[in-house]
Amino acid sequence: MVTLSTLQKMKEQQQKIAMLTCYEASLATLLENEGVDILLIGDSLGMTVQGYSSTLPVTLADMCYHTTCVARGSHNALILADLPFGSYQQSKEQAFSAASQVMASGAHMVKLEGGHYMVETTQFLQQRGIPVCAHLGLTPQSVNAFGGYKIQGKNEAAAKQLLADAKAHEEAGAALVLMECVPSSLAKEVTEALTCPTIGIGAGIYCDGQVLVLHDMLGIYAGKSPKFSKNFMLGQSSIGQAIKAYVMAVKNNEFPSLEHSY
């Protein structure tokens, strides 16, 4: 079974970590059988499953339901679940209440979005037995504040802030740091500076692992596919083979390529 210790050892041994989003039991079984290390119950389900235009309408009840479904189908992968918008930003106590419900639904770790202003929350949760993945860079729950889905950390000041935020989250006890839509050179610097593993999505090949939205990498999401995604169904005869191709591409350090990086 994949645990936090497993992930830490993979970083130390320079073995790449493969993560995909997952929202239900049947695919949970298929994904882990094809070698996916981490199943992410992402609030991306708001767009891929529920048909919303963003992740913002997803509720805590939605996340608990889908986490329960994934947990029923998974026996070996590490289960990571997002804390949805509005369920954790108000206070550390609110965050603990939301995280404890998601953990009780079957998650092994929770993911929260935000830099320095969420560091105390990371520490608060970690000290109470809830492992945390800190999500930095483009944080989709703040898409309106960003003015759209744009690359982050492009200038020197922003890059320094992201690096400082990553270090602060690790010092607070974060077990993973996920970076979205940041230059690969910055992601490399962060990965080398941290002891805990890093996961990239649109953050280049130097992260300790990669994640994609399952519907994007299978080419079945009706919306616009992001630059950093790749359709792994092309040339494959089954969903299982596409997932295996993704896992092998990550493990062999073949994905993401330059065309999928910033």
Distance CA 98, CA 220 (A): 31
Number of helices (H), then strands (E), belonging to the chain: the values are 11, 8
Instruction: Select from 94, 117, 204 the least CA-distant residue to 168.
Output: 117
Q: Give the separation between CA 207 and CA 255, rounded to whole angstroms.
A: 11
| Nearest C-alpha neighbor of 77 from the set 26, 38, 20 | 38
**What whole-number distance in Å separates Cα of residue 163 and Cα of residue 147?**
22
The answer to whether the beta carbons of residues 6 and 177 sit under 8 Å apart is: no
Q: Which residues participate in catalysis according to the annotation?
A: 180
**Coil, strand or helix at 224:** coil
What does the block give as tokens for 65? 């339901």
User: CA dist 220 to 25, 49, 216, 237, 252, Å?
Assistant: 18, 11, 6, 15, 25
Distance CA 183, CA 175 (A): 22
Strand partners, 210: 18, 200
> Nearest CA to 80 among 52, 53, 56, 99?
99
| 3-class secondary structure per residue, 141-158 | HHHHHHCCCCCCCCCHHH
